[in-house]
Amino acid sequence: MQIPTIVLGDQTGRFIQAIESQRGPISVVRHVQDLAEVLGLAQSGLARALLVVSLEEDLTHSLLEQLEGLEVAVCQVLDPGQKPALDGIWPINSLGEQEEILLGISQAVQALEEGVSGHRQPSQEAEESPKRESQQASKSAQPQDPAPQQAGPEEPGKQPGLGGKILTVWGPLGSPGRTTLALNLATLAAPGLKVCLLDADTYGASLGPALGLTDDYSSLAQLCHYADRDKLAPKVLEELRSQVEVGGAKLDLFTGLNRPDRWPEVRSLTLTKVLTYLRGHYDLIILDSSFNLEEDQALAFDQLAPQRNDASLTSVREADYILTVGLADVIGMPRLIKGCDQLIQALGRQPDSSGWGIVINRVRKEAVGPSAQLALQHSWDRFGPKEPILAFLSDDPNACDRARLEGSSLAQIAPQSKLSQEVKVLTEQVLKQLGLASEEDGAEEKMVEKKKGRLSWLTRS
């Protein structure tokens, strides 16, 4: 099997000479100093392996995913005992002889074909195999210890990859109220939970300005940068988060892209890693997603081939619950109905009511007639999917404008307004679906039902 290899770095030429001098199946197809050249050669199909001698800081998960898709194995020269910074890299001893270097490249290509992650020095396989066999034999000869007791449940919001729920607020093209709804849901949920609000709208991020923050810095892009290099840590979250207090409710905000043209910085792989990490540090992660769920065509570039809608697609696919919001008018309702079909197609399945809720926003008689809610329900029953409408939210432009002007929430600006009460009830419903409702909420709900029943009985009398 011929293995044409790209060599990145190697200023002294030691590894190039080691490969070329043997005149065997492994050959140097190009010596480059830039990653853009690597990707261009890989996409042309001229190489089967990449040997990285330097530039370790430029290796990312996105790059490895791209090269793996092009069937190019990645090897990296490392000092003895040093491990690769990322999964999927096959280490080669910097002090190794010619045979060891060639064997490492060959085994890296073989591992890629077999779907095995390269983590260990090739020579370690032969050395450690008899050791493992002898250890297993000695263990089988010894009496087995009783099964250890299982540890108790982890405290929520402490361990990476555990615990937290993801709520994605999504809606079709236009301005149906995604940001306003996500913000108010977060502020209502924050008093009893550790809440994180993430702006994942790569077309027009607006959570920062809605809370009165400057948009000259993108926490989302930085989170993806660290995730791409496996460097997410509690200290990183501490530095990147913006602690916001709205009406006594404290939550953490991670701002979105300050310019729409920065969307290539947010890729599906890195955003997934970010969300997985945030699950371990928050009880509830609320995503403000963009509208577009179209699958982009992966075009061939001389650099990473980004997809503009990665963020919105990842936001809905990683969600534990999707809140779909649409406008209550003759334009918004058809968009919502078509958008729901697009959402189902993007998910690849029909979500059930436990993971999907429909919200009709800005309900007003001026837009759909005197019996607005009845007319909207009739249109939905006739043309919409089978999923029932979870909530109708009244139109209150004055309260919403005041809240945006003061960087606050509806519960703080107009707590007794009809819209504020409707959003509060909606929040309780969503938290219940996510399994995050407190016992006090359940007791309060039962009390309300009891009072309603008594009032109904008095009315009938």
Domain assignments of the chain as residue spans, ordered by start: 3-124, 165-447
Among 48, 104, 40, smallest CA distance to 75 is for 104
Q: Write the DSSP symbol of residue 415.
A: T
Residue ranges with strand state E in 112-194: 165-170
User: The domain 165-447 belongs to what CATH superfamily?
Assistant: P-loop containing nucleotide triphosphate hydrolases (3.40.50.300)
Helix (H, G, I), strand (E, B) or coil at 125: helix
Q: For residue 48, what is the DSSP state?
A: S
How confident is the model over 126-153, as a mean pLDDT?
41
* C-alpha 369 chain-centroid distance: 40
Residue 458: its pLDDT value, please? 33
Rg from Cα positions in the chain: 28
How large is the average pLDDT for residues 86-95? 89
What whole-number distance in Å separates Cα of residue 305 and Cα of residue 268? 12
> Which among 426, 95, 138 is positioned nearest to 286, based on CA atoms?
426
- pLDDT score for 350: 83
Angle at 433 between CA 428 and CA 438, to 5 degrees: 50
Statement: residue 438 has pLDDT above 90: no
Q: Above 70 in pLDDT, residue 127?
A: no
More confident: 200 or 456: 200
Tokens for 33?
A: 């100093």
pLDDT bracket for residue 360 (50, 70, 90): very high
**Residue 137 reports pLDDT greater than 70:** no
Same CATH topology for 3-124 and 165-447? yes
Specify the pLDDT at position 69.
86
Sign of CA dihedral 244, 247, 248, 249: negative
Banded model confidence at residue 120, pLDDT cuts 50, 70, 90: very low
pLDDT of residue 84: 87
DSSP secondary structure, 95-134, as one string: T--HHHHHHHHHHHHHHHHHT----S-HHHHHHHHHHHHH
pLDDT tens figures, 268-297? 999 999 999 999 999 999 999 999 999 865
Judged against a pLDDT cut of 80, whether residue 78 lies above it is answered with yes
Tell me the pLDDT band of 223, cut-offs 50, 70 and 90.
very high
Burial degree of 297 (CB within 10 A; 0-12, 13-18, 19+): exposed
> Which of 74-83, 119-128, 294-303, 436-445 holds the top average pLDDT?
74-83
**Mean pLDDT, the chain, integer:** 83
Is the separation of the CB atoms in 337 and 389 below 8 Å? no
When pLDDT is averaged across residues 440-456 and rounded to a whole number, the result is: 47
What pLDDT is stored for residue 246 in this prediction?
85
- With 0-12 CB in 10 A as exposed, 13-18 as middle and 19+ as buried, what is 277? buried
**Poorest-pLDDT segment among 41-45, 93-97, 192-196, 453-457:** 453-457
pLDDT band (50, 70, 90) for residue 145:
very low
Q: Give me the mean pLDDT over the 170-180 stretch.
A: 95
Does 219 score more than 90 pLDDT? yes
Question: CATH topology for 3-124?
Answer: Rossmann fold (3.40.50)
Q: How many CB atoms lie within 10 A of CB 107?
A: 21
By the 8 A CB rule, do 241 and 253 touch? yes
CB count in 10 Å sphere of residue 242 = 16
| pLDDT value, residue 117 | 52
- Report, as an integer, the average pLDDT of 435-459: 52
Checking phi first, is residue 13 left (phi over 0); if not, alpha (psi -120 to 50) or beta?
A: left
Q: Which structure tokens are listed for 342?
A: 């697009």
Q: Distance (Å, rounded) from C-alpha 160 to C-alpha 458?
A: 53
Instruction: Give yes or no for a contact between 369 and 147, defined as CB atoms under 8 angstroms apart.
Output: no
pLDDT of residue 40: 80
Q: Decide if pLDDT at 1 tops 80.
A: no
pLDDT at 441: 56
Instruction: Give dist(CA 264, CA 309) in Å, integer.
Output: 10
Q: Which tokens in the block code for residue 330?
A: 């003759």
pLDDT reading at 300 higher than 80: no
Mean pLDDT along residues 174-190 = 95
- Confidence category of residue 128, pLDDT binned at 50, 70, 90: very low
Q: What is the pLDDT of residue 163?
A: 77
Mean pLDDT of 188-194: 94
Beta strands across the sheet bearing 26-32: 26-32, 3-8, 49-52, 73-78, 89-93
pLDDT at 161: 43
Of the ranges 41-50, 405-414, 415-424, the best mean pLDDT one: 415-424
Q: Indicate if the pLDDT at residue 166 is higher than 90.
A: yes
SS3 of residue 8 by DSSP:
strand
How far is it, in rounded angstroms, from Cα 33 to Cα 231? 25
pLDDT at 3: 92
Q: Of the spans 1-10, 30-39, 187-196, 351-360, which averages the highest pLDDT?
A: 187-196
CA pair distance 286, 289, nearest whole angstrom: 9
Task: Quickly count: other Cβ atoms within 10 Å of residue 212's Cβ.
Answer: 12
156-165: average pLDDT: 58
For 301-336, letters b (16+ CB in 10 Å) and e give eeeebbbbbbbbbbbbebbbbbbbbbbbbeebbebb
Give me the amino acid identity at 306.
Answer: P
Of 294 and 23, the structure prediction assigns the larger pLDDT to 294
